[in-house]
Amino acid sequence: MPHMHVAGSIHADAMAASPKWLTRPADVNALDAALWPTGTVRSEAGELTVAGHSASALAAKWGSPLYLIDEAAFRANASAFRKAFAGWDVYYAGKAFLCRGVARWVAEEGLGLDVCSGGELAVARGAGFPPERTGFHGNNKSTDELRAAISLGIGRVIVDSLDEIERIEALAEELATTVKVLVRVTTGVEAHTHEYIATAHEDQKFGFSILGGHALMALVRCSTSPWLTLAGVHSHIGSQIFDGSGFEVAIHRTMRVMAQFRDATGETLRELNLGGGFGIAYTAADQPLPLTDLAASFREAIDHESRGFGFGQLRVALEPGRAIVGPASFALYTVGTVKVVELDGGAARVYVSVDGGMSDNIRPALYAAEYSAVLANRASDSPPVLCRVVGKHCEGGDILVRDVFLPADIQPGDLIAVPGAGAYARSMASNYNHLTRPPVVALAGERSYPLLRRETLEDLLALDVG
């Protein structure tokens, strides 16, 4: 049955204008290699094909909507970090996406793991992840969560408040052990994307501020506790960062507080954890630095500051989350309705509604995060038209991809793929409007297998005690 070409009846000038960063593609079927796992192609039939799996075969087998992770790409990203930063400790930040299968991949690739709740810790434990390679974050860890972590033999607790220090001391005494800690310091550097702000005083909940001597006091407090082993300092400056300048300032400021600690106590701290935040390409506008360049500039900054402060060899750690799982992943949706909406001034916008939305990817609604999308089940010879991909929730802000060029003949039943949607999507997913959360499926050679199964209505009702 022929479908009306939605943009066909509207003159091109009457379409909503695209944002400055988005250019009309010369070929609407082209795949931007920077956004997809290596080896992603359009098949001869025109289908998006990742690790040998066509979009329509995946949707037929696993349903829609659906998150997919190319296992080989995930492992390659993990191992690229380990190699580029050889000699440093690399922890995968589990909050980006964690399940037992992924925790095993991380263990096998030789990385450590960061958790930030008792739930994430339970997943790590369920996967048999080595506790000594696990770090525990969070600004309000409960006594029960800390007890679980310490009983397990957690590698490091990243302490975030004086209350927490007291809680850990009491537990260490109760469990007759000592706990290795890093002190989370707030450097006043806040980095997002291409900019960073270095503020005089920082107004947020994490860590101990260097200003006012809070960080130094916490370091001294930990170093004099019989129940704690103070290993060093931790700093995390933000997320989706593309340039190293914010990190350089953070390195300088953390080392300066380490030097103040040495001057005050005569002890030298040996560990510096610089957190995560390495940016990935969600759209053509995002241009992350090659990892080897990033590693070179990090090493140079560490060596420079370390020499300046006379520290010698430090044990440095990083915590990438998004940069490992994001580029290995994508989401698949099915188009349900296509609607042309007239805007003030006579322009129009094409709204493409899919079978998921803000419950499976809250980032566009939460942080105005930008994504891109392609028509996945076929190629099209229709011209590109500016579209907005929206979900099925009862919210006007339920937007998945604010601006993207899709073929003008996009129609109900088509599949749309959104690259990068494996990071901070399933891990932040909700059951808003009682939607069931999509499964996460791994692509591994000819095989595809579930990491997390699709939620069912029975799962939803199981919590409802009636």
Binding mask 352-371 for ligand PLP (x = CB under 6 A): --------------------
Beta bridge partners of 167: none
- Give the residue with the Cβ less far from ligand PLP, 101 or 276: 276
Residue 272 to residue 305: CA distance in whole angstroms: 12
Number of chain positions touching ligand PLP (CB under 6 A): 16
**Closest distance of CB 399 from ligand PLP, Å:** 22
Buried b (16+ CB within 10 A) or exposed e, 7-32: beebeeeebbeeeeebeebeebbebe
Regarding 141 and contact with ligand PLP (CB under 6 A), the answer is no
**Closest distance of CB 348 from ligand PLP, Å:** 37
CB-based contact 414:377 (threshold 8 Å): yes
Regarding 275 and contact with ligand PLP (CB under 6 A), the answer is yes
Q: Among 289, 318, 56, which Cα is nearest to 193's?
A: 289
**Closest distance of CB 278 from ligand PLP, Å:** 5
Amino acid at the residue 374: V
Residue 289 to residue 109: CA distance in whole angstroms: 22
- Give the residue with the Cβ less far from ligand PLP, 138 or 391: 138
Site residues for ligand PLP, 291-320, by CB under 6 A, read: 319-320
- Give the residue with the Cβ less far from ligand PLP, 137 or 392: 137
- Give the residue with the Cβ less far from ligand PLP, 141 or 236: 236
Of these, 232, 277, 327, 384, which contacts ligand PLP (CB under 6 A)?
Answer: 277
Residue 203 to residue 17: CA distance in whole angstroms: 37
- Give the residue with the Cβ less far from ligand PLP, 235 or 448: 235
Regarding 278 and contact with ligand PLP (CB under 6 A), the answer is yes
Backbone dihedral region for residue 312 (phi beyond 0: left; psi -120 to 50: alpha; all else: beta): left
Catalytic residue among 99, 116, 222, 394: 394
- Chain CA centroid to CA 274, Å: 16
Regarding 276 and contact with ligand PLP (CB under 6 A), the answer is yes
Segment holding 189, helix H or strand E: strand 189-193
Regarding 422 and contact with ligand PLP (CB under 6 A), the answer is no
Residue 216 exposed, middle or buried by CB count within 10 Å (0-12, 13-18, 19+): buried
Regarding 129 and contact with ligand PLP (CB under 6 A), the answer is no
Regarding 118 and contact with ligand PLP (CB under 6 A), the answer is no
Pure H helices in 199-283: 214-223, 245-265
**Closest distance of CB 30 from ligand PLP, Å:** 28
Instruction: Answer yes or no: 394 catalytic.
Output: yes
CB-based contact 410:404 (threshold 8 Å): no
Residue 85 to residue 299: CA distance in whole angstroms: 8
Site residues for ligand PLP, 429-458, by CB under 6 A, read: none
Query: Segment contacting ligand PLP (CB under 6 A): 93-101, 376-384, 390-398, 432-440?
Result: 93-101
Tell me which residues touch ligand PLP (CB under 6 A). Answer: 93, 95-96, 114, 137, 236, 239, 275-278, 319-323
Show which residues are catalytic. Answer: 394
